[in-house]
Amino acid sequence: MVEERFHIYTVSEITEEIKNILESNFYEILVRGEVSNFRPASSGHYYFVLKDENSQIKCVLFRSMVSEGVKRIRDGDEIVVYGGISLYPPRGEYQIIVNRVFLQDKKGALYLEFERLKEKLEKEGLFSKEHKIGIPSFPKKIGVATSKSGAAILDIIKTLRRRNPLVEILLYPVKVQGESASKEIVKAIEYFNRRKDIDVIIIGRGGGSIEDLWPFNEEIVARAIFKSKKPIISAVGHERDFTISDFVADKRAETPTAAARIVAMPLSVYLERIFTSTERLKRAVLREIDFKRNRIEILKKERGFFLFERRILNLYQDIDLFVFKIQMGMKRNLEKKRDKIFSNFEKLKFNSPIKQIPEKMDFFRVARERLIFLFQNFLKSKSERIEFLKRTIYNMSPQSVLARGYSITLDEEGRSIRNVTSLKRGDKIYSLLYEGKIVSKVEEIKEEKRWEEEKK
């Protein structure tokens, strides 16, 4: 019988075997081909055929994997799909379960290169958390590598000046797109690492297409970030944009503005920490004073009359015994011995520890007063320093300059006017005063030498 010599599969059994073979050997593949019969289903899934000049294979892209780019695909487009081969048992057809689609234009090639480099660097450990450097809490000077004319540097400066104007910014202007941009970014990172006064580095730019952001996906930039001895914050694009630099950097910021918020806490936080430290120091000194005071009280009790009275009682007992012996055996020498006893008694009284207590009390009182005096001077010095810093910050503010009688002149677009060459007769200008604003019209323009040149 055939059944006895061979195993006879059911259709479901052989289909399941083939399905397991396909899925275990082709679970992660990239396939290039031309799209045909591209159609969405009412469920939101997409079905199409991928073909070349000799063969074709069915593909399915489930709704959870659909992106906006997929909806623009048309029959005849050449694409690359990433996914795995499976078999659909009800029809006995093998197909590709697509996880991602790349259009075969420049943008699609860049996505493939991005994924390739990301996988390579991740395997090398460049994204590992153990290599990340912590961002300092109180940086004094920040190095920024970005375009000098872009919105990124303006956002960073504006945010830092608002939160903490004491933090310094050093800009290393670089191109942020184009062929030479990646090399300039690497040079900026190396330059900041050579400077001892830079505490943290920000690299980045505003948002854009994948082509615009590509310098921050270059391998030389990623390796320069990894080699940096100073912490680097990557602030490239908008919140939805991710680059290789974001994964390698010690910290990723969604935007350049967010990077500025990360490196600089508000000035009020600094002042609050100074005040908190002062209060802690004050409490520590007061606790030490209380401890010393309690110790003095204990010493007073230990060094009081207790031990001295015990010694006196013992001496009395010795005297009584001695007197008894004199009375019994040496009546003649009674007066002489009695005088000697009283003499010794007076000496003991003169050398009594009770006389030393007032001196020790005076010493500890002087020490306590001096400690309080030094602490009050210390608090006064710190308070004067804080007041000085507050006055310095206020004097540096534009409002303070206006209060001293100066004014700021703006053109109609709100830009500051620094020389007359940007004006012409008939222009309307605005002068900002400490209180109020003056609107003027230019009648005459007269050029004069700058104050520095006249001084020379």
Q: In whole angstroms, how far apart are CA 247 and each of 122, 152, 223, 250, 257?
A: 9, 20, 11, 8, 19
H helix intervals, 173-304? 181-194, 219-227, 244-248, 256-263, 267-302
One DSSP character per residue, 203-235 reads EEE----TTTTGGGG-HHHHHHHHH-SS-EEEE
- Work out the percent of the chain whose per-residue pLDDT is above 90: 22
**CA distance linking residue 73 with residue 61, whole number of Å:** 12
For the chain, how many residues are written?
A: 456
Query: Are 64 and 42 within 8 A, CB to CB?
Result: no
What value does the mean pLDDT of the chain take? 81
Q: What's the CA angle centered on 423, arms 417 and 426, to 5 degrees?
A: 125
Q: What is the pLDDT of residue 305?
A: 45
The predicted-structure confidence for 314-370, as pLDDT tens digits, reads as follows: 665 666 666 666 666 666 666 666 677 666 666 666 666 666 667 777 777 888 888
- Domain 136-265 class, CATH top level: alpha beta
Residues 6+ apart with CB under 8 A from 126: 222, 223, 226, 247, 248
Q: What is the pLDDT of residue 313?
A: 57
Question: Where does the pLDDT of residue 171 fall: very low under 50, low under 70, confident under 90, or very high at 90 and above?
Answer: very high
Q: Residue 307 corresponds to which tokens in the numbers above?
A: 């031990």
Would you list the domain boundaries of the chain?
2-104, 136-265, 297-394, 408-455
2-104 — its CATH code? 2.40.50.140
What phi and psi, each to the nearest 5 degrees, are found at residue 73?
A: -70, 140
Strands 200-205 and 232-236: parallel
- Work out the percent of the chain whose per-residue pLDDT is above 70: 81
Same fold, 2-104 and 136-265: no
* Residue 11 clears pLDDT 70, i.e. is over it: yes
Name, of 9-23, 108-122, 180-194, 272-286, the range with top average pLDDT.
180-194
Beta bridge partners of residue 334, listed in sequence order? none
Selection from 32, 28, 211 nearest residue 104 by Cα: 32
Q: What is the pLDDT of residue 213?
A: 86
